[in-house]
Amino acid sequence: MTVFRSGFVAVVGRPNVGKSTLVNAIVGTKVTITSPRPNTTRSQVRGVLNRPDAQVVFVDTPGLHKPRTALGERMNESATSSLDDVDVVVAMVEATGAVGPGDKMVLTQSARRVRSMARATALERELVTDGPDGAGEPTLLVVVNKIDRVGPDGILTHLTQVASVIEGIDRDQGGAPVPVEFFPISAATGEGVDALVDAVVARMPEGPRYYPEGMVTDVAEAFWVADLVREELLHRVQDELPHSIACRVTEWEWPRVRCEILVERDSQKGIVIGKGGITLKEVGTAVREQMPPGAYLELFVRVEKRWQHREDALDRLGF
């Protein structure tokens, strides 16, 4: 008898390694925004993969980093807490550049979680006599992304480096080595992604559909539009400004949608608006193209001083 498998997968990694690009590639629709700037994703976003044999909910997470703001701390908490409720952990690094301390932190947290899953599974097997559900030993899936940017030698070097970092983590954490599988992929071209998805599905427990079949995400429409506005801005502004931007929809009276763009300083306001309003105009056009036809999108820029550092502002903005 074929079983239906379902469950949750967290995709964790440093900022900018390509987590959101991967989730979009797997789901087959854009469900989470991406950009060349680090810290693009600020909260968990669920993307649902529906197959005849399985439903897998991929949880895209903010990049784990050394926080310099209250927002950064909340983003890290959001990423770390995603590990608590999932069946499989995918830890992503990128093939370009060396495996750094940020990657080590990601691998350490991921390995720790897989170890605790292994302990829980062992305990369950002792208590339940009718055997395991066939999903196998908890295993850390390590994805090496952006292989389109390095040659085969580069991939091999990187895999070797990651493996030795994990050996060090095993020594630090003690006990048996954590089971690991490696997946060199390119989220951008799709290379290697099917193999990863098959491995994830094989590791899902037997279970029901958690979401209706046509549903690809649980992100609310107003939140999505605000994120699309931020995405378009991230592609147009530089330096520290991406971090200072927050967007939220303040009115939704279809087809009229009003979205507020917050910045932290007066000087940033002009950059977001652009000469003669050109940047805002371009952003508005690009976002409308991704909304249902007929949308009338109004964009406003407002200064909210140091909002990234203020707990009260973060509460209000829903972080």
Give contact residues for ligand GTP (rule: CB under 6 A): 13, 15-21, 34-36, 38-41, 62-63, 145-146, 148-149, 186-188
Return the number of the residue (149 or 306) whose C-beta is nearest Mg ion. 149
Find how far residue 58's CA is from the centre of its chain: 9
Q: Which is nearer to Mg ion, 23 or 262 (CB)?
A: 23
Nearer to Mg ion, 79 or 299 (CB): 79
Nearest to 9 by CA among 57, 44, 42: 57
* Residue 20 binds Mg ion, judged by CB under 5 A: yes
Residue 44 interacts with, from Mg ion, ligand GTP, none (CB under 5-8 Å by kind): none
Pattern 25-64, Mg ion, x by CB under 5 A: ---------------xx-----------------------
Interacting partner of 188 out of ligand GTP, Mg ion, none (Cβ under 5 to 8 A depending on kind) = ligand GTP
Q: What is the largest CA-CA distance in the chain?
A: 72
Query: Least separation, in Å, of the C-beta of 3 and ligand GTP?
Result: 32
Of 6 and 20, which CB lies nearer to ligand GTP in the complex structure? 20
Give how far Cα 264 sits from Cα of 186, 216, 294, Å.
36, 34, 32
Partners of residue 311 on adjacent β-strands: none
**Cβ distance to ligand GTP smaller for residue 40 or 244:** 40
Long-range residue pairs from 114-123, CB within 8 A, at least 24 positions apart, any chain: 114/89, 114/138, 114/139, 114/140, 114/178, 114/179, 115/173, 115/175, 115/178, 118/178, 118/179
Q: Which residues contact 184 (CB under 8 A, 6 or more apart)?
A: 95, 143, 144, 147, 155, 159, 192
How far is it, in rounded angstroms, from Cα 231 to Cα 20? 12
* Cis peptide preceding 255, ω within 30 of 0: yes
Cα gap 88→202, rounded to integer Å:
10
Measured from the CB atom, the residue of 108 and 173 that comes closer to ligand GTP is: 108
Min dist. Cβ of residue 78 to ligand GTP (A): 11
16 vs 78, which CB is nearer to ligand GTP? 16
| Minimum CB–partner distance for residue 39 and ligand GTP (Å) | 5
Q: Indicate whether 16 belongs to the interface with Mg ion (CB under 5 A).
A: no
Cα 65 from Cα 15, distance rounded (Å):
7
DSSP code per residue over 295-307: -EEEEEEEE-TTG
Least separation in angstroms between CB 312 and ligand GTP:
25
Residue 15: which of Mg ion, ligand GTP, none does it interact with, CB under 5 to 8 A by kind? Answer: ligand GTP
Contact between 217 and 31 (Cβ < 8 Å): yes
Part of the chain binding Mg ion (CB under 5 A), chosen from 19-27, 119-127, 161-169, 273-281: 19-27
Q: Residue 10 CB, nearest distance to ligand GTP (Å)? A: 13
CB under 5 to 8 A by kind: which of Mg ion, ligand GTP, none does 146 bind? Answer: ligand GTP
Binding at 203: pick from ligand GTP, Mg ion, none (beta carbon under 5-8 Å per type)? none
Least Cβ distance, residue 221 to ligand GTP (angstroms): 21
Please tell me the total number of residues recorded for the chain in this structure.
Answer: 319
Strand 296-303 and strand 54-60: the pairing is: unpaired
